[in-house]
Structure 1
Amino acid sequence: MASLHFDLETTAAGSKARAGVITTDHGKIHTPIFMPVGTVGSVKAVTQQQLKQDVNAQIILGNTYHLYLRPGTEVLEAAGGLHKFNRWDRPILTDSGGYQVFSLAANRKIKEEGVMFQSHIDGSRHLFSPESVMDIQRSIGADIIMAFDECPPYPSDYNYAKKSMELTHRWLDRCFDRLADTPDKYGYTQNLFPIVQGSTYKDLRTASCEYIASKNAAGNAIGGLSVGEPEEMMYDFTALCCDILPKEKPRYLMGVGTPWNILEGIDLGIDMFDCVMPTRNGRNGMLFTTQGVINIRNKKWASDFSPIDPGLPCEPSQYYSKAYLRHLFVADELLGLTLASIQNLSFYLWLVAEARQHIIAGDFKSWKAGFVEVVKQRL
């Protein structure tokens, strides 16, 4: 089958924002795009049908670390891969587990071979290497798979960040070698995205971008940002990376972020985003809406019978009222978690679709300047 292809349609006037189309063997992805996070093969509280019909998700994420531990590669292979296991027939991207290993700092050991870590489930010990992570992602069968990297913490001293980046580059070479030696399992192409590292040092980020660009991969990811650094620093390093990474390949800013982070990232030339924020915040009662941010638990919504979000073309957001959704949260009803998650995911997908339309129309810059202030409002 054909490998991933990216058609760059247009770039916005006065901006580096782009509209394009990524074609995979499981369908097309119109960029810029937000990708809902389905860590263990499920976007929390939302069914696959709701992801399609209400959210309009074009691609979702899975995670190598979590799927390796549960349900395990034997089950995934017996099912025919994650697409058949979770009944999602559109594109899937899998994170390599590098960030999860990073988050297990107290229970991991990094060496040249790979990372020894303890399972958060039962404490059992496991080794992730570039080779084993590629093998696991072969078993999962995602359309886009990520290279195994080390994500240094913020802040990191220069020497550590440099050694970490160089290790990530050596691991990347091993990822490519492993993929070349192992065939696709399910009859369609898996596409490896390298990950830029280098912490918050301009020369390291530049060197990493140049190394990653030299690999001529199907797409490229920017990692190691949104890990605690100030927003402006994240934007500065995103801009640096976008100026170096090839324009003809999709660019993926990992783990970002708020609606205003996403709009700024689009402005800088990013095509792909993911973050747990819409579902995690939704389950805690924070709603992102076309009018601003709502804490649905607040008493002020108790008798507000207007739609959850009248400006969002999503049936549940138009059908149910703020008062009803608040009632569900106060009563600890599970439906509240589902409706809030659908609202936030639908908003994120609507936001990137609106950005795309304004890029094509030629007025993205002016639209963004006004709408950033809207989405930051606390209602």
Structure 2
Amino acid sequence: MKFTLQKTDTKSNARTGELVTDHGTIRTPIFMPVGTAGTVKAVHQRELKEDINADIILGNTYHLYLRPGIELLKQAGGLHRFNGWDRPILTDSGGYQVYSLTNMRKIKEKGVTFQSHIDGSRHTFSPESVMDIQRAIGADIIMAFDECTPYPCDYEYAKQSMHLTHRWLERCIERFDSTEGHYGYEQALFPIVQGSTYRDLRQQSAEFVAKQNRLGNAIGGLAVGEPAEMMYEMTDLVCNILPAHQPRYLMGVGTPANILESIALGVDMFDCVMPTRNARNGMLFTTQGIINIRNEKWKNDLSPIDETLGGYVSTFYSKAYLRHLIHAKEMLGPQIASVHNLTFYLWLTRQAREQIERGSFANWKNQILPTIMQRL
């Protein structure tokens, strides 16, 4: 597995690169569709490959561990064979899900004991067990086990949590480096920078992570309710510390504006449930702006969802038809909307890549953002 930095923009820290894995090449900057339980909601793998053309998707350790279970995934030969996706997969460590289970978990030095949201059964995640679970899931990129702090967060708690995450990272690395994958292809471990919204903690954490010299690094604990400008400040600080020759992954981000602004700061990889979750609620991202397809104004609009965007779904179906499906609660409605939104997000990062290569990214970003973020 190898990352090659290709070009850096002259007016920002935006850059292009390629991450080569045994399941294919990931061209950065990239948005990664979220497939929490082994599937991107309402989207067929064929659509992911042929219409959306995703280089990589995500799975989630917490959810896959609980259901369908690790033993079944082992029997299947890993998640790639289980869900029929033959391109790269990244798995989150489950740290964010544990963070969200505030009333159902206890955090200790050993790890986290939590109750299943499915049946209330009790389980424990440790840095070692999370490495073993992700080895068994078989993702190409696996994440270190961390604690994601909330916002706002007390300084002392953020500091203690950061050091705990660092100690857990050392245990993750020891376990990862002393084990091998199950399915005959290479896996990479990405550490995660924490430190809440405190500059000195973020700097400490980024420096600690950089010293581990892994293939890539992630920035966690942001997009949890803090103001966007604060997120950009922390991201900028961390990107200037993490090694330039390793890909940088900003976890759980975000809106199209968040993505373009963070690309300008030097981020390479993104994921977020927003395009699919919003799609299921009738919110569409288009090259002309944001549409609430439930609104009356689209009832008789027979124009394509987004002719400029391209792609079968966005150009074949009309706004009026999609609105009809959503209001009729037909399953096809969320499917069309989800494919469209993911097509837009992948289009956006590919456009960013092209503009960086041309040397025109900064101007393009400033021109396109007011258009794509306006409400239609």
TM score, norm. by length of structure 2 = 1.00
Equivalent positions of 1:118-133 (< 5 A) are 118-133=115-130
Q: Give the letter for the 1:115 counterpart.
A: V
Give, in angstroms, the shift of residue 237 of structure 1: 0.3
Distance in 2, Cα, partners of 1:317 & 1:184: 39
Equivalent positions of 1:70-85 (< 5 A) are 70-85=67-82
Match of 1:115 among 104, 112, 118: 112
Question: What residue is the counterpart of 1:271 in the other structure?
Answer: 268
Question: What residue is the counterpart of 1:23 in the other structure?
Answer: 20
Distance in 1, Cα, partners of 2:263 & 2:195: 22
Distance in 1, Cα, partners of 2:180 & 2:302: 56
Equivalent positions of 1:150-229 (< 5 A) are 150-229=147-226
Question: What residue is the counterpart of 1:103 in the other structure?
Answer: 100
Question: What residue is the counterpart of 2:367 in the other structure?
Answer: 370
Distance in 2, Cα, partners of 1:161 & 1:132: 24
Instruction: Describe the SS at the equivalent of 1:192.
Output: strand
Instruction: Describe the SS at the equivalent of 2:372.
Output: helix
Question: What residue is the counterpart of 1:357 in the other structure?
Answer: 354
Percent identity between matched residues is: 68
Distance in 2, Cα, partners of 1:47 & 1:114: 35
Give, in angstroms, the shift of residue 198 of structure 1: 0.4
Distance in 2, Cα, partners of 1:183 & 1:17: 34
Match of 1:320 among 309, 317, 321: 317
Question: What residue is the counterpart of 2:330 in the other structure?
Answer: 333
Question: What residue is the counterpart of 2:138 in the other structure?
Answer: 141
Distance in 1, Cα, partners of 2:182 & 2:82: 14
Q: CA RMSD in A?
A: 0.5
**Could you list the per-position Cα deviations for residues 149-171 of structure 1 after superposition, in whole angstroms to 9, with x for gaps in the alignment?**
00111111111001000000000
Distance in 1, Cα, partners of 2:278 & 2:257: 15
Question: What residue is the counterpart of 2:345 in the other structure?
Answer: 348
Q: Give the letter for the 2:204 counterpart.
A: A
Question: What residue is the counterpart of 1:34 in the other structure?
Answer: 31
Distance in 2, Cα, partners of 1:161 & 1:316: 44
TM score, norm. by length of structure 1 = 0.99
Q: Give the letter for the 1:265 counterpart.
A: S
Runs of 4+ in 1 over 2 A off after TM superposition: none
**Where does structure 1 lack aligned partners over 5 or more consecutive residues?**
none
Does residue 247 of structure 2 align to residue 250 of structure 1?
A: yes
Equivalent positions of 1:222-241 (< 5 A) are 222-241=219-238
Give, in angstroms, the shift of residue 181 of structure 1: 2.0
Give, in angstroms, the shift of residue 246 of structure 1: 0.3
Instruction: Describe the SS at the equivalent of 2:212.
Output: coil
Question: What residue is the counterpart of 1:44 in the other structure?
Answer: 41
Distance in 2, Cα, partners of 1:179 & 1:29: 23
Question: What residue is the counterpart of 1:11 in the other structure?
Answer: 8
Question: What residue is the counterpart of 2:88 in the other structure?
Answer: 91
Instruction: Describe the SS at the equivalent of 1:38.
Output: coil
Distance in 2, Cα, partners of 1:199 & 1:304: 45
Q: Give the letter for the 2:208 counterpart.
A: Y
Give, in angstroms, the shift of residue 183 of structure 1: 1.2
Distance in 1, Cα, partners of 2:151 & 2:298: 39
Q: Give the letter for the 1:182 counterpart.
A: T
**Could you list the per-position Cα deviations for residues 269-328 of structure 1 after superposition, in whole angstroms to 9, with x for gaps in the alignment?**
000000000000000000000000000000110110000001111111100100000000
Distance in 2, Cα, partners of 1:248 & 1:331: 50
Distance in 1, Cα, partners of 2:329 & 2:145: 39
Distance in 2, Cα, partners of 1:168 & 1:368: 35
Distance in 1, Cα, partners of 2:312 & 2:167: 48
Distance in 2, Cα, partners of 1:140 & 1:325: 36
Match of 1:287 among 284, 304, 327: 284
Q: Give the letter for the 1:376 counterpart.
A: M
Distance in 2, Cα, partners of 1:97 & 1:280: 19
**Where does structure 2 lack aligned partners over 5 or more consecutive residues?**
none
Q: Give the letter for the 1:293 counterpart.
A: I
Q: Give the letter for the 2:301 counterpart.
A: D
Give, in angstroms, the shift of residue 182 of structure 1: 1.5
Instruction: Describe the SS at the equivalent of 1:328.
Output: helix
Does residue 53 of structure 2 align to residue 56 of structure 1?
A: yes
Q: Give the letter for the 1:286 counterpart.
A: M
